[in-house]
Structure 1
Amino acid sequence: MLELNHFYNMDCMDGMKRFPEKYFELAIVDPPYFDGPNKRGYYGKKINTLNIRRVDYPKIQSWDLPTEKYFEELVRVSKNQIVWGCNYFHHQFGPGRIVWDKCNGESSFSDCEIAYCSLHDSVRLFRYMWNGMMQGKSISEGWIQQGNKQKNEVRIHPCQKPIALYDWILTTYAKPGWKILDTHVGSASSLISCFNNGFDYVGFEIDPVIYQLASDRVETMMAQQSFFRRNAF
């Protein structure tokens, strides 16, 4: 069995086989469901109206869409699941949903993202601004733009989600002592949130370039949090 609190550069299908049934209390996953950003090599229009070039992201080499075997294995190793992009998959999910309102105003991107949640049968809403340099102020005031852009998260992945989103998920759904699984780590926002909130985790990322970028981000963020904790008193 693989170790907890580790981030592995490997295929999640191979990784999940290393764990017994229902080992993780919660899997929070964001599998790839379209390859537009990867084909373009960037997210959004290449040149915006101000003639400013958008940030280029590294080409992601592995955009294999999850198969039914992936979902079967995910359910085997986890007691509960939150699956982003559930509306794009043919898998039969239960009724529970989380809607993330990105508060993106006039943006051409999607107004929200949808996740399946096995922990309830209802629909829950989380509002947090996430549109380029326009990012939310806090979990409690996510629809208000962060005034100091120096506090914005740096994007390293075309489908990056904010740490605040995972903070909200963990504080809303996870219980102390739960082990968290992320099969498609991407930017590692989930792992940083697990660390910040005191949850054990295991993460997988198959792409070596993204894995290295995400590993560097995790190390930097964890070092910052450890510094603040040591100097809190």
Structure 2
Amino acid sequence: MRDVMRFRVARKAKDASRVPDRLSTRYEDLAPATGVPVRTFDFRRTPAGEDRRMWTINGKPFHPDTVLARPRLGSVERWRFSSDFHHPVHVHLARFQVTARGGRPAEPKDAGWKDTVDVRPYETVETLVRFTGYRGRYMIHCHNLEHEDMAMMANIPDHLRGRPLSLGSAAFSGPLPLASGDAPAGGRTPGRRCPGAGRASVTGPGCGRCGRGRRRSGGPRGPGRRSCGRSR
């Protein structure tokens, strides 16, 4: 019992808090952009061979290089979640609004901004998702602990960022150029190729091999030698 923290209530206090009659007076109803496609994400247990089954999204197990959608930053998209089980679907870094459940209008508990929605067995939930304030890779997954531990998740990079970073390599897998004025930390531009290194690398101004990269103060290449951050 020595590893259990004990809280002792030393005195009584009045609770002056109050739940307001209206939780929010400023609520924005989202509307999808013209021409934005409807994206479907099916959360389901699917066969994986040899009498095994896996929790998947759209029939695909998670892989860091697999992309199921590429939304445009600043847009609102219509996403449809379906399932074969109780799957609390969670979207990282993006808020959404539930517009319909099971082909009927959203329930009162679905009102307001969400980052997670419970998708009940064999039910379809319609949502409007807004992508704003973050340029990079988003993630969507089931919040059941056993399911997310079994990698029931997917990458959702925004349209301007390009292909995701491969976790199985030492370099970026070649994203599209950044938007104007969107310089990464340290002034480097991801995904350029250093000819001297002979492989993809992260480079920036001043590499002795490729003209980009950072100056080294010393080391095996001698004082003042320039080299990009990933070429050595």
- TM-score norm. by structure 2 comes to 0.21
Q: Which of structures 1 and 2 has the bigger CA Rg? A: 2
**Which has the larger strand fraction?**
2
